[in-house]
Amino acid sequence: MKSVESSEPSTPLVSTDSLSSPLRRKRKKGVAGYAVVSGYFVLLILFGVAPAIYAITLAFTASGGHFTGLTNFIKTGEDFRFLPAFENVGKYLFIWLASLVVIVLGLALMLHSIARRVSAAFRFIFYLPGALAGAASVLVWLFMLDPTVSPWRLFLGIFGFKNLGQTILPGHLPLIFAIIAFWAGAGGWIVVTYGALNNIPNELIEAAQLDGAGAIQTALRIKLPLIKKWIVFMLILAFAAGTQLFVEPQLVGEASLGLISPTWSPNELAYYFAFQDNNFNYAAAISVDLLVIGLLCAAVLVFRTKLFEVE
Partner 1 sequence: MRLFNRIWSRTASYIILLAFTAFFVVPVIWLLFAPFKTDHNLVFQNPFALGSLGNLFHAAHVMFTFEDYALLNWLKNSAIYSFGGIVIALICSIPAGYGLAHTQFIGRRTLLGVTLFVMIMPATALVLPLFLEANAVHAVGTPLAVILPFSFFPFGVYLAYIFYSSSVPKDLLAAARIDGCNEWDVFRRIALPLARPIIALVTFFAFVANWNNFFLPFVMLPNSTNYPLPIGLQDLLSATPAFNPGQGGQVPIYRPELAIATIVAMAPVMIVFLFAQRSLVSGLLAGATKE
Partner 2 sequence: MTQFGYTVPTTWQGWQTLGEEVATQHPGYIVGSVGDNWDDDIYLWPSECHVDDVVKTDTIDINAADPNCTRATALIDPLIKDGAVTTDSVFSSTFGTTYNNKILMMVGPAWYGQYLFPGIVTKGDLAVADPLSWGSGATVTGEVGGGLWFMSSHVTGAAKTLTASILTWLSTSYGSQGISPGYPAYVADETPWIAGQQASGLYSNQIAPVFAKAATEVWSGWSPVPWSTDSVFGSTVVTGLNSGSTMSSQLAGFASQLADFAQSDGYTVVTTP
Site for partner 2 in 252-311 (CB under 8 A): 257-262, 277
Q: Which does 80 bind (CB under 5 to 8 A by kind): partner 2, partner 1, none?
A: partner 2
Helix (H, G, I), strand (E, B) or coil at 61: strand
Residue among 170, 204, 207, 295 that touches partner 2 (CB under 8 A): 170
8 Å CB contact between 245 and 265: yes
Q: How far is the CB of 52 from partner 2 (least distance, A)?
A: 27
69 binds partner 2 (CB under 8 A): no
DSSP 67: B
153 counts as binding partner 1 under rule CB under 8 A: yes
Rounded to an integer, what is the distance from CA 273 to the centroid of its chain?
A: 25
Contact 263, 269 (CB under 8 A): yes
**Cβ closer to partner 2: 238 or 270?**
270
| Rounded Cα gap, residues 177 and 103, in angstroms | 16
Specify the stretch interacting with partner 1 by CB under 8 A; choose among 60-68, 69-77, 169-177, 286-294.
286-294
Burial 247-272 (b: 16+ CB within 10 A, else e): bbbbbbbebbeeebbebbbbbbbbbb
Q: Nearest CA to 262 among 4, 9, 81?
A: 81
Q: Give the binding range for partner 1 (CB under 8 A) out of 63-71, 73-81, 83-91, 283-291.
A: 283-291
Give 91 or 153: the residue with its C-beta nearer to partner 1. Answer: 153
Asked if 67 touches partner 2 (CB under 8 A), the answer is no
Phi/psi of residue 61, nearest 5 degrees: -125, 170
Are 99 and 183 in contact, with CB atoms under 8 Å apart? no
Task: Name the binder of 90 from partner 1, partner 2, none, CB < 5-8 A by kind.
Answer: none
Picked from partner 2, partner 1, none, the partner binding residue 166 (CB below 5 to 8 A depending on kind) is partner 2
Question: Is residue 4 a contact residue for partner 1 (CB under 8 A)?
Answer: yes
User: Which residue, 4 or 79, is less far from partner 2 as judged by CB?
Assistant: 79
Say which entry of partner 2, partner 1, none residue 163 contacts (CB below 5 to 8 A, set by partner kind).
partner 2
Structural contact between residues 108 and 190, judged by C-beta atoms closer than 8 angstroms = yes
Query: Of 39 and 151, which has the nearer Cβ to partner 2?
Result: 151
Cβ-based neighbours of 119, under 8 Å, separated by 6 or more:
111, 112, 194
Q: Is 208 in the site for partner 1 (CB under 8 A)?
A: no
Q: Can residue 173 be called a binding residue for partner 1 (CB under 8 A)?
A: no
Nearer to partner 1, 153 or 172 (CB): 153
Contact 91, 177 (CB under 8 A): no
Site size with partner 2, rule: CB under 8 A: 19
Mark 107-126 with x for binding to partner 2 (rule: CB under 8 A) and - for no binding.
--------------------
Q: Do residues 181 and 242 touch, judged by C-beta distance below 8 A? A: yes
Which of 234, 134, 247, 131 is CA-nearest to residue 192?
234
64: amino acid identity, one letter: G
Q: What is d(CA 264, CA 241) in angstroms, rounded to the nearest whole number? A: 16
Residue 199: CB minimum distance to partner 1, A = 6
Can residue 169 be called a binding residue for partner 2 (CB under 8 A)?
Answer: yes
Give the interface with partner 2 as residue ranges (CB under 8 A). 79-81, 148, 162-166, 169-171, 257-262, 277
